[in-house]
Amino acid sequence: MAEDLNWAIGGEAGDGIDSTGKIFAQALSRAGRHVFTSKDFASRIRGGYTAYKIRTSVDRVQSVVDRLDILVALTQRTIDENLDELHEGSAIIYDGERSWEAEIPDEMTAVDVPLKSLAEDAGGAIMRNVVALGAACKITGFDVEYLDEALEKRFGGKGSKIVENNKEAARLGQEYVEEHYDLEHLGYNVDVTDNDYVLLNGNEAIGMGAIAAGCRFYAGYPITPATSIMEYLTGRIEDYGGHVVQAEDELSAINMALGAARSGARSMTATSGAGIDLMTETFGLVATSETPLVITDVQRSGPSTGMPTKQEQGDLNMALYGGHGEVPRFMITPTSIDECFWKTIEAFNLAEKYQTPVFLVSDLAMSVTEQTFEPETFDMDAVEIDRGKLVDEDEVDEWLDSQGRFRAHAVTEDGVSPRAIPGTTDGAHMSTGLEHDELGRRTEEEDERVQQVDKRYRKVETAQNDEDWDYREFGDEDADNLVISWGSNEGALVEALEYLEEDGIDVRVISVPYIFPRPDLTEEIEAADDTIVVECNATGQFADVIEHDVLTRVKRINKYTGVRFKADELAAQITERLSEEVPA
Amino acid sequence: MSSDVRFTDFKSDKQPTWCPGCGDFGTMNGMMKALAETGNDPDNTFVVAGIGCSGKIGTYMHSYALHGVHGRALPVGTGVKMARPDLEVMVAGGDGDGYSIGAGHFVHAVRRNVDMSYVVMDNRIYGLTKGQASPTSRSDFETSTTPEGPKQPPVNPLALALASGASFIAQSFSSDALRHQEIIQEAIEHDGFGFVNVFSPCVTFNDVDTYDYFRDNLVDLQEEDHDPNDYEAAKKVILDSEKEYQGVMYQNEDSVPYHEQHGVTEDMSEIPDGAPDDAMDLVREFY
């Protein structure tokens, strides 16, 4: 494993923490280094502690660790919040000219740089964070040229003067450190490679996946952390003949998306937290009217307003069971940022093939993390589109009843009916949330009711048999210890394997991207001596599902602090759990 | 689009279960005739129906249709029109569906000026749930849930529309068949959100806002020399609490519908067999 470097900038919301961090992440990515970022932020626009952290290595990194090497601290709280992760070799960049007296532990290296004054020399105090980036380049021996490229990308649209000023600010930071400090003893070494990586977060991957999949309509209502999907699509989807509507609320958003889907467009809505509660009202209608719709839920800490900017995987039950009555549906969960792209495409295909709602359930950790990938990871040529049983006007005739009426909900062997979209001659029909007959007309006849309920669930059975619901696997296939997870914990688990291996503990990791339908893990669990289910919630919602499936008790690791799992922490917890008795 | 469409083509073979004498019969007839008269046919028409007596209209008419969740018909219609600007979209609901649970959506659909017609069957009562007060019930209207009346003023949907920036506001009476049809036709032909509040009496639960009441009290704006393009004149009749009017109160001649404002012209249902040709550009953005 190559040496990785952990860098962070922290201050108050409104200090430009996020954009500064993104610039540095971009610079490292340009240098052919892998990057994995994380954010500490609060639900406010100004004030309060916020930080942007980067872990970078020439090898792939897919998790955060409990370690911080270089910290740009704009406030004392930034230092205090990160004391646990700082170590003797850490360097802390701060501005001693500012009104606070930085308290930096003796064993660490304090690098006092007059950020504000130097920024003013370069053309404006606003660039003080860029001065700090220049200083960080010097401390780590990272070539400032890459930072220049990132500054060009970030400020290119604002004119060459702004770009030049920013480059100057970076230079001044670099030179100041060079003149005033001898930091050879820190021994940081940031190698570069010739690789070209792309840097994106999970929500961007979902947005890009949607466009690739042919999604043309999106309706949503701003809510943390789902908003950036809408922001990504806005201004891009139009280039492909699509449109984004910012609806008045989530009730409206899901119904707009439903209307577009009934008209034959691939359409999506995305939300989080209370937004998914509101949309619950329409789940049954989507399923009963047999409308192909992708409903994305980027989970955050609940219940109620909870912790809007914190990580949690607490909506599994909601997505799996939400809505009154019995609502057939699919639920799929990307396990990594690149999978956010592929699973979105899969969601659209499943929705149209089986004419049913598909819940695409992501989580906050993935949504705000930027990670590097080889561009081929998102090979657009590999994207396949399956529109299912769409019928044209010639095919409609096969599905008319004796009186020439289109059987939109025809009872078929696989449970999937023909789908005629508006404009198709002779295909006119009504769809409804009322129980209906084959023609879509209200019925309360017992036989017809049973036929339609069975038909809707038969679609799910068909999918269960016809589609690939496989899990992803890491570690030692023959290990006695099995760890199961869903969602974004995969990366931390994969890295935890390295720590466990060092301790001589063999573990098989199964990462499950399909919650419903899902792989049957009976054999895998029976073959293992010990099974642990890892998830970011208090009650172990996925563990409950698995116990229900295999009728055996599993051990659980639950984290609900609002912070994602870290690889080293996870390894320690797995070790501890393995030594415990299985719950009775 | 066939030119020999008759209004009966918009009729399904399902017999309405409305009470005999319900105003919704006349409302629906006018809608079907207006759709046929404006050159539409069932295969290119999308009707969105709300929940309640009025919502049953989707079943009794023949076209592409969705009968959805209570109060959310307008958002569905918006999604249909955005995805398929080529379709004729008509949304139908009642006063409860539109001005109570759906009031928020009403305001915003009006603001967006989506190119569709919105026909509200206003009977000033909740009929399907058997006679409770509605948002347009009079403040002294006694019902099972308001024994002494709601004691709050009714919603003025026309004023709500005007205040929300409506480009077309009209009112009709289901029993005045020809005028009702004409007004719906104007709403269909209007480039933008064509809002029509239709007095559609409930003969079972409302003995105040009856056919006789409207016949005796309805003033037709056609006979009043009203200019619907005159905003101030529109405001005057809409805010006139002394009289009930029939006709087009307001029409903004410069109305540009939402999809045109946003440059949405394509049929979104047509997509390539794989990712779009230049989709790799999206990936390159992340370098």
* pLDDT per residue as tens digits for the range A514-553: 999 999 999 999 999 999 999 999 999 999 999 999 999 9
* Average pLDDT estimate for A28-52: 88
Residues of chain A numbered 473-492 and touching chain B (CB < 8 Å): none
Residue A571: the pLDDT is: 97
Instruction: Scan for tokens 């490292």, then name that residue.
Output: A28
Task: pLDDT band for A41, please (50, 70, 90 cuts).
Answer: confident
Q: Read off the tokens for A232.
A: 């990504």
Percent of chain A at pLDDT exceeding 70: 98
Residue A579: the pLDDT is: 94
Residues of chain A numbered 19-58 and touching chain B (CB < 8 Å): 29-30
Cα→Cα distances B94→B65, B180, B209, B267, Å: 17, 16, 15, 30
- Is the per-residue pLDDT at A367 higher than 60? yes
Determine the residue of chain B that is closest to A210 in CA distance: B275
* Average pLDDT estimate for A197-208: 98
Residue A583: the pLDDT is: 79
Task: pLDDT band for A32, please (50, 70, 90 cuts).
Answer: very high
Residue A523: alpha-carbon gap to chain centroid:
30
Q: B43 contacts in A (CB within 8 Å)?
A: 422-428
Q: How near does any CA of chain A get to the CA of B13, in Å?
A: 10
Q: Is A355 on the interface with B (CB under 8 A)?
A: no
**What span, in angstroms and rounded, lies between the C-alpha atoms of A40 and A328?**
37
Q: Which of A45-59, B56-70, B215-229 has the least mean pLDDT?
A: A45-59
**DSSP code of residue A301:** B
Q: B83 contacts in A (CB within 8 Å)?
A: 216-217, 259-261, 263-265, 267
Instruction: Scan for tokens 């079943």, then name that residue.
Output: B59
Indicate the residue of A253, A384, A426 with minimum beta-carbon distance to B274. A384
- Is the per-residue pLDDT at A43 higher than 80? no
Contact by Cβ (8 Å): B74, B50: no
> Minimal CA–CA distance to A362: which of A318, A298, A423?
A298
A430 strand-pairing partners: B65
Percent of chain B at pLDDT exceeding 70: 99
**What span, in angstroms and rounded, lies between the C-alpha atoms of B113 and A315?**
36
A285/B262 touch (CB, cutoff 8 Å), yes or no: no
Residue A215: the pLDDT is: 98
Residues 6+ apart with CB under 8 A from B256: B113, B191, B192
**What span, in angstroms and rounded, lies between the C-alpha atoms of B262 and B80?**
15
Q: Give the CA angle between residues A384, A386, A391 to the nearest 5°.
A: 150
Question: Which phi-psi region, left, alpha or beta, contains residue B23 (left: φ > 0; alpha: ψ -120 to 50)?
Answer: alpha
A260/B273 touch (CB, cutoff 8 Å), yes or no: no
Interface size A-B, in CB pairs within 8 Å, comes to 214
Residues of chain A numbered 266-325 and touching chain B (CB < 8 Å): 266-267, 281-282, 285, 289
Query: Which residue in A34, A154, A252 has the most chain B C-beta atoms within 10 A of its own C-beta, making it the best mutation to test that interface?
Result: A252
Exposure string (b/e) for B154-178, b if CB count within 10 Å is 16 or more?
A: bbbbbebbbebebbbbbbbbbbbee
Residue A2: the pLDDT is: 61
Cα→Cα distances A521→A32, A471, A480, Å: 39, 9, 15
**What span, in angstroms and rounded, lies between the C-alpha atoms of A550 and A523?**
9
Indicate the residue of A214, A243, A421 with minimum beta-carbon distance to B272. A214
**What span, in angstroms and rounded, lies between the C-alpha atoms of A489 and A444?**
46
**DSSP code of residue A432:** E
> Minimal CA–CA distance to A373: which of A567, A200, A149?
A200
- Is the per-residue pLDDT at A42 higher than 80? no
Instruction: Provide the sign of the torsion angle of the four alpha carbons A318, A323, A324, A330, taken in this order.
Output: negative
Condensed to tens digits (0 to 9), the pLDDT of residues A204-239 reads 999 999 999 999 999 999 999 999 999 999 999 999
Q: Which of A100-104, A288-292, B179-183 has the least mean pLDDT?
A: A100-104
Cα→Cα distances A25→A198, A199, A229, A353, Å: 11, 8, 20, 39
- Is the per-residue pLDDT at A1 higher than 60? no
**DSSP code of residue A36:** E
Residue A101: the pLDDT is: 81
Percent of chain A at pLDDT exceeding 90: 94
Q: Which of A178-192, A366-380, A410-424 has the least mean pLDDT?
A: A178-192
Residue B32: the pLDDT is: 98
> Minimal CA–CA distance to A385: which of A303, A323, A452, A292?
A292
> Minimal CA–CA distance to A384: which of B270, B275, B269?
B275
Assign A37 to helix, strand or coil: strand
Condensed to tens digits (0 to 9), the pLDDT of residues B250-267 reads 999 999 999 999 999 999
Instruction: Provide the sign of the torsion angle of the four alpha carbons B251, B253, B258, B264, taken in this order.
Output: positive
B59/A442 touch (CB, cutoff 8 Å), yes or no: yes
Q: A150 contacts in B (CB within 8 Å)?
A: none
* DSSP per residue, A498-525: HHHHHTT--EEEEEE-EEES----HHHH
Other Cβ atoms less than 10 A from the Cβ of A19: the count is: 11
Q: How near does any CA of chain A get to the CA of B41, in Å?
A: 9
- Is the per-residue pLDDT at A185 higher than 90? no
Cα→Cα distances B135→A210, B73, B102, B123, Å: 41, 17, 11, 10
Instruction: Scan for tokens 């021994």, then name that residue.
Output: A187
Residue count of chain B, please give it.
287
Residue A40: the pLDDT is: 84
Q: Is A367 on the interface with B (CB under 8 A)?
A: no
> Minimal CA–CA distance to A251: which of A279, A280, A214?
A279
Residues 6+ apart with CB under 8 A from A194: A32
Exposure string (b/e) for A393-415, b if CB count within 10 Å is 16 or more?
A: eeebeebeeeeebbbbbbebebb
Angle between helices A128-140 and A160-180 (to 10 degrees): 50
Residue A45: the pLDDT is: 67
* Average pLDDT estimate for B233-243: 97
Strand pairing of A507-512 and A472-475?
Answer: antiparallel
**What span, in angstroms and rounded, lies between the C-alpha atoms of A261 and A229?**
19
Could you tell me the pTM of the whole model?
0.97
**What span, in angstroms and rounded, lies between the C-alpha atoms of B61 and A553?**
55
Indicate the residue of B79, B266, B275 with minimum beta-carbon distance to A260. B79
Condensed to tens digits (0 to 9), the pLDDT of residues B59-117 reads 999 999 999 999 999 999 999 999 999 999 999 999 999 999 999 999 999 999 999 99
